[in-house]
Structure 1
Amino acid sequence: MQLTHFTDLGLRVLMYLTHTQRETPVTIGEIAERFAISRNHLVKIVHFMAQQGWLLTTRGKGGGLALAAPASSYRLGTVIRTLEDITELIDCATPPCLLRGSCQLKGILDEALLAFFAVLDRYTLADAVGSPTSEAIIVLHRLGLSHTP
């Protein structure tokens, strides 16, 4: 199973925002530059995550992004389930499968998906940004300081 680009970038945003020791707010433009991604695509991701209540956003001069809660409150399974909008790996009804009702594959895949998310639910965003990841995030934030006029 491969996560979508949307989920990958959403996780990167959340991880980047775990670093809070800075004087200026984090902006979408900054994150887009650090991760070399489209600002327009990032706007959609940030908007979606703000709608979920995961991010606080402030518009205008001096505005920016922040986590809405401590990193330890973001369960990775919940975040990935929501970003992926996934409830099953295959849909036997669309298009209708001729094996439906006699096939065991769907049950096996459903069990595997539950196991996948059960593991992710054991971890939080705080776990994902433990050392050495936290140090790498600090370096990303410092890159911006060297570019500031």
Structure 2
Amino acid sequence: MQLTTHTDYALRTLICLSLQPDSAPMTVQEIARRYSISANHIAKVAQTLTQLGYINSLRGRGGGLVMAQAPDTINLGTLVRETENLKLLDCFGEASQCAIEPACKLKNMFMQAQQAFLKVLDGYTLSDVIRNGDELKVLWR
């Protein structure tokens, strides 16, 4: 399974904000600069993460993005479910057009694979991702 750029950038944004000293706000531009990616993409991701309650957006002078939840409460499986379209095949949807769907075994196999993938991610939180925070911080300089 391949994750979208949106989910990738959501994870990167959460990593960056979680490692911020004293929970200081970071701007979209700062996050984008650290990863050498588009600020417009980060802005869209920040909007999603704000709507989902993972981060807060502070307006005004000295504003920026800050974590709204502790890293140990952010489950990776949940985050992926909330940011990804998990419809792997046409038959995963309501209006399948597949002629062989009634007899096809692929749907169940892919469903099991997807559930296994998400089950593994359910075993991790953002805290697990940032355990090597000092190593990550060095790479941003």
How does the TM-score come out when normalised to structure 1? Answer: 0.86
Indicate the residue corresponding to 1:67 in structure 2. Answer: 67
C-alpha deviation, 1:140, in angstroms: 5.1
Indicate the residue corresponding to 2:56 in structure 1. Answer: 56
Is the contact made by 1:24 and 1:62 (CA closer than 8 Å) also made in structure 2?
A: no
User: Counterpart of 2:98 in structure 1: which amino acid?
Assistant: C
Structure 2: any 5+ residue segments left out of the alignment? none
Indicate the residue corresponding to 2:116 in structure 1. Answer: 115
Indicate the residue corresponding to 1:101 in structure 2. Answer: 102
Indicate the residue corresponding to 2:134 in structure 1. Answer: 135
Cα shift readout 1:70-111 (whole Å, capped 9, x = no counterpart): 10000000011111132x321226551111110000001001
C-alpha deviation, 1:31, in angstroms: 0.5
**Structure 2 residue matching 1:109: 3-state secondary structure:** helix
Structure 1: any 5+ residue segments left out of the alignment? 144-149
**Structure 1 moving runs of 4+ over 4 Å:** none
Structure 1 residues 96 and 5, CA gap change in structure 2 (3 angstroms): same
Cα shift readout 1:9-56 (whole Å, capped 9, x = no counterpart): 110000111113258521111001111111111111100110000001
**Structure 1 residue matching 2:18: 3-state secondary structure:** coil
Tell me the C-alpha RMSD between the 2 structures: 1.7
Indicate the residue corresponding to 2:12 in structure 1. Answer: 12
Indicate the residue corresponding to 1:79 in structure 2. Answer: 79
Cα shift readout 1:46-71 (whole Å, capped 9, x = no counterpart): 00110000001101210011111110
Is the contact made by 1:75 and 1:121 (CA closer than 8 Å) also made in structure 2?
A: yes
- Sequence identity (%): 39
